[in-house]
Amino acid sequence: MKYIIAPSILAADFGNLQRDIEMINQSEADWFHVDVMDGVFVPNISFGFPVMAAVKKHATKSLDVHLMIVDPDKFIPEFAKAGADRITVHYEACTHLHRTIQLIKASGCKAGVALNPHTPVTLLQDVIEDLDLVLIMSVNPGFGGQAFIHNTYKKIQDLKRLIQGVNEDLIIQVDGGVSLLNITKLVSAGANAFVAGSAIFATDNPSQTIIEMKNLVTTSISI
């Protein structure tokens, strides 16, 4: 099982974006996590295609795009064209989720679905075989730097049970308030991909923090 650390560029310094992208390129991180917010699905606006293109131009690792937008079908092909490797849409934003998953795959990307803290994992039962990734939001989406919601551990365990014998290669990603303080417990619960924004970028030495996250993950899987 591969464990993934995906720094969220939402927490990067946009005035020094190329510097922060280079830091991730040189670090032990695995993916770039790209948070797209539309001010409708979530009460915040982040960035769209121009920033996505700037990240793609300099990034040497794959782009994990998290769409916090309504009507994602309208934009999926364009995000794929802009360089997304994985596209994750929100369960709560999709009327025809199965169709949306098919569209992501037809656009050449791996497909993920994100669940808000109030949305149970059982609602994914009938599409779970079609997915490459499920993103469990451990904060309400819209902002970095929020407090981690503790019910997340139980949700990861619920998802672990749901994929048993059906799609055991599915990536279980956690996003929101992930830090050096809770990553070990998240691994024990069954998560294998970790998005972290402020826990990485708000430290004096972000690349060292990424190494420490990786070390904690490696230590907890070898126990």
Ligand X SMILES: O=C(CO)[C@@H](O)[C@H](O)COP(=O)(O)O
* Nearer residue to ligand X within complex by CB, 16 or 102: 16
* Selected catalytic residue, list 20, 30, 35, 64: 35
Question: Which CA distances in Å does 110 have to 62, 76, 84, 106, 183?
Answer: 11, 12, 9, 9, 24
Q: Which of 30, 35, 38, 64 binds ligand X (CB under 6 A)?
A: 35
Contacts of residue 212, defined as CB under 8 A and 6 or more positions apart, other chains included, come to 180
**Is residue 34 involved in binding ligand X (CB under 6 A)?**
no
CA dist 147 and 122 (Å) reads 25
**Are 111 and 167 contacting, i.e. CB atoms less than 8 angstroms apart?**
no
Find out whether 98 is annotated in a ligand binding site: no
**Is residue 206 involved in binding ligand X (CB under 6 A)?**
no
Q: Which of 72, 83, 112, 177 binds ligand X (CB under 6 A)?
A: 177
CA dist 83 and 108 (Å) reads 10
- Contacts of ligand X in 43-82 (CB under 6 A): 66
35 is catalytic: yes
**Is residue 92 involved in binding ligand X (CB under 6 A)?**
no
Q: Which of 204, 148, 149, 222 is nearest to 179 (CA)?
A: 148
Site of interaction with ligand X (CB under 6 A): 8, 10-11, 33, 35, 66, 139, 141-146, 175-178, 195-199
Active site (catalytic) residues: 35, 175
